[in-house]
Structure 1
Amino acid sequence: MLKMTITRTLMLLLGLLLITSVQAKTWRFAVIPKDQSNPFFQQVKIGCERAAKALGNVECVFEGPNKANAISQHLILEKLIDQGIDGVAFSVLLDSYVARRTLPVLVKNDIPLVTFDSDIDDSTAKRFPNVRKAYIGTNNFDLGVKLGLTLKSMRPEGGTLCIQTGRKDSVNLDERISGIRAALSVAEPKLINPARIRRLVNINGWTEHADCPLYSWSDQERAVKQLQDMLTRPDNIAVVAVGGWPQYHSSYPTMMKQLKVSHPNHTLLVADTTQEQLDLLQQGLSKINVGQKPAKMGEQAIHTLYKIVTDQAYEPQIFTELTHCTQDNYARCTQ
């Protein structure tokens, strides 16, 4: 009896020691954005650090390239692995590069991965089953649909459309473009087979301009110049930017003030609702922004990685909410 009691006591103490050791460990989670200087990803950092502070035994290691570059992202990841990390949250810039270089490195080092903002594509997920544990972020097709429906409300008669995007092979941005096209093509865009979505050519009054989509390659200055070129053409082109690049550049306010005088009836719709963009709405330098919750992405990425490494149940897909901000509701639209 005494021996049994001692054994139970020892087992209980061992269990408590294991729990204490897990709690005492500081978990280091790398959060690697496409572009750490982008205000959108700065909001991700805020959420990441907030979640780490709330958990208490977690460190948010936020680092990314200063300009969007897949090779730079990977080199940062390798550096952080050498320094010691327990998990990675990664915003995928170039899926083919991630499949060729990044995922094999994570498999080799047995480091859990979640993606945020931009996911790997389906074919890569099938090639590397169970490597990417979760995706946290916007349903990018739904964001595109929201942009398309908003554009329809701004220009119900249709017209010529130009879509501005980042790079040609960005999974999340391509999904947004598909969502825009679906919303302008059919009555029930969320029911359409993605394989049937095509470039708009005289569909419900909409035709995409021959020079578009415009690829900014996440270069903010280039994005502003592209907007200025399209919005000052004589054929009243409606421009939809699926990311906030032009509105983050210092020349945007001056360009928009001039445009409001020379082309007061221009149609411009921009994705994302960072504080910088809300300020532009307040100043009347933007009409409507349809955005995301980047801080929530940062928070959920950290909480999900923590659940993974501590063997707790977690959700493999977390879609964060969309926001719809105007000159009337800019002060409350992201709350």
Structure 2
Amino acid sequence: MKKSLMLIAAAVLALSAGDAFAAKKQLVIVVKGLDNPFFEAIHQGCEKWNKENADSEYECFYTGPASTSDEAGEAQIVQDMLGKPSTVAMAISPSNAPLIANTLRAANPQIPIMTLDADLKKEDAALRKTYLGTDNYLMGFRLGEYLKKAKPNGGTVCLIEGNAAADNILRRASGTRDALSGQKGLDALKGEGGWTEIAGCPVFTNDDGPAGVQAMSDILAANPKLDAFVIEGGWPLFGAPQPYRQLTDQYKDRIASKDLVIVAADTIGDEVAIAKEGRVEALVGQRPFEMGYKAPSVMISLIKGEKVEDPVFTGLDECTKDTADTCIQK
């Protein structure tokens, strides 16, 4: 009997603790998809904040659709979370910027909204308080500069992109074209600065690593004299590292001689090792862990009505074969 009473008491305490946790005010992070290692790094940053702030009235709550290709699923999650009284602020990484903007307009949230990793389009910026993440234009520009340094006389290039409606990827592509052309605002390179985008490019892969590698393989088969790839998100490298290695094995002499130059975004997963192996000319990486760790504090500041800069940039890490051992900020 005594043992039963003890078990009942323990269960009551556990339920009380669970209720207390559930009663916390939720600082919600909605990402493009849970199947992407990049977003898992954001999740880890969110969880670190929770551990360091266990006594806070707030908790960082991470969610998103199962797949980065599920744009409608992300919009539905945003809508659902906005309907919960526990949600007191939200940070969103929009997979489809116009769709998320329309979702916010329809919901008309009375809580602070910010964007994380990817922003809304400029005309929709008033729907959120600030953007926290990478300076995506600068990231793309730096990729272009690395390519231009490797092949100063220009050539033919193909941009590998993710979602056609993702603002962060579009800004990177814009930065890359500006760096290569020496001009601003081009939708495609047609000889400016010596660079021409080949037919069929850019290629949109919906952030899918194997699809990115396959696209590169297909493009090279159709264009054997292609001079360069700019991979605006690191999906082929961190999402399919072995297929990427197998592909680059076929072109190792061209890559080593800079006859074929590949530059890529991000520095996660196997990417730095791939750079060290000389399978990519340069990586320009983001800091997703820092995004996830900083987002709750920014949301709390917004809740309190404190001044928050817009945008809040988290910096870049740049890696080459020669700097691979020391290129990541600790």
Alignment TM-score > 0.5, same fold: yes
Structure 2 counterpart of 1:223, from 196, 205, 212: 212
Uncovered stretches (5+) of structure 2, i.e. residues with no partner: 1-22
Corresponding residue for 1:102?
104
Structure 2 counterpart of 1:145, from 135, 141, 145: 141
Tell me how far apart the structure 2 counterparts of residues 269 and 300 of structure 1 sit (CA, whole Å): 28
Structure 2 counterpart of 1:93, from 92, 95, 106: 95
Structure 2 counterpart of 1:246, one-letter code: P
Question: 1:282 and 2:280 equivalent?
Answer: no
User: SS of the counterpart of 1:61?
Assistant: strand
CA deviation after TM superposition for structure 1 residue 255, in Å = 2.2
Question: 1:40 and 2:12 equivalent?
Answer: no
Q: 1:134 to 1:52 in 2, by over 3 A?
A: farther
**RMSD, aligned α-carbons:** 2.1
Q: Map Cα deviations across residues 171-227 of structure 1 (whole Å, 9 max, x no partner).
A: 1111111111111122xx6xx4x4xx3421122221111121111122222111011
Answer whether contact 1:227 1:246 (CA < 8 A) is retained. Answer: no
Structure 2 counterpart of 1:157, one-letter code: N
CA deviation after TM superposition for structure 1 residue 120, in Å = 0.8
Corresponding residue for 2:247?
255
Corresponding residue for 2:26?
28
Identity of aligned residues (%): 30
Corresponding residue for 1:61?
61
Question: 1:298 and 2:288 equivalent?
Answer: no
Question: 1:154 and 2:150 equivalent?
Answer: yes
Tell me whether 138-147 or 167-176 shows the greater mean CA deviation.
167-176
Question: 1:211 and 2:200 equivalent?
Answer: yes
Answer whether contact 1:230 1:237 (CA < 8 A) is retained. Answer: no
Structure 1 counterpart of 2:244, one-letter code: Y
Aligned length: 298
CA deviation after TM superposition for structure 1 residue 230, in Å = 2.6
Answer whether contact 1:119 1:171 (CA < 8 A) is retained. Answer: yes
Corresponding residue for 1:315?
309
Uncovered stretches (5+) of structure 1, i.e. residues with no partner: 1-24
Answer whether contact 2:143 2:282 (CA < 8 A) is retained. Answer: no
Tell me how far apart the structure 2 counterparts of residues 325 and 263 of structure 1 sit (CA, whole Å): 16
Corresponding residue for 1:14?
none
TM-score (norm 2): 0.83
CA deviation after TM superposition for structure 1 residue 263, in Å = 6.5
Q: 1:294 to 1:266 in 2, by over 3 A?
A: same
Corresponding residue for 1:78?
79
User: SS of the counterpart of 1:86?
Assistant: strand
Corresponding residue for 2:12?
none
Tell me whether 115-124 or 82-91 shows the greater mean CA deviation.
82-91
